[in-house]
Amino acid sequence: MSILEIKKFPDPVLKKHAAEVKQIDGRIAGMLNNMVDTMYTANGIGLAAPQVGILERAIVVDTDTENRGRKLVKIINPEVTEASGEITIEEGCLSVVNFTAEITRPRKILVKGWTVDQQQVELEFEDIDAVCIQHEIDHLEGLLLVDHISRLKRDMYRKRLRKQDSGGGQGGGAPKI
């Protein structure tokens, strides 16, 4: 497998809407496997295809950092069909370095999508798993963590980014999704 380059804010590809995957084949399976390897190498718990410069609707998530692979989910063309409750969690992002923010999202979601085996699935997620799935689906829509905060905080982050050396480390204690 290959480790892919994770695009960093403000890379314009991160603001683009990802296209629906029309054909699930070996290329998509390989891409998802490379995304999993990239996510694990970066110590993340989620990764969307646009984060590695691929504008297709595909995500990988594994919130179990102690037992990698045990909760691994790969979803093609994911869509939240039901949502309930509310949870606020401090989120980080592999594409938005040295930044975290408390974001409120639905606590429980039902997601419809496809597996690499061309099976349509409906999966329920809650708590951190639901947050991570929603965060990755945001990436498919061209939305970033910084889009969930005030303009003032976003401008402060941009200013701080300009002052830092390019390619700086990952800050904050939140999981990088």
Catalytic residue numbers? Answer: 136
The burial of 110, by beta-carbon neighbours within 10 Å (0-12 exposed, 13-18 middle, 19 or more buried), is given as middle
3-state class (DSSP) for residue 97? strand
In Å, how far are 12, 36, 82, 99 from 45, measured between CA atoms?
23, 9, 22, 16
* CA atoms of 62 and 87, how far apart (whole Å): 19
Evaluate whether 6 touches 39 at the Cβ level (below 8 Å). Answer: no
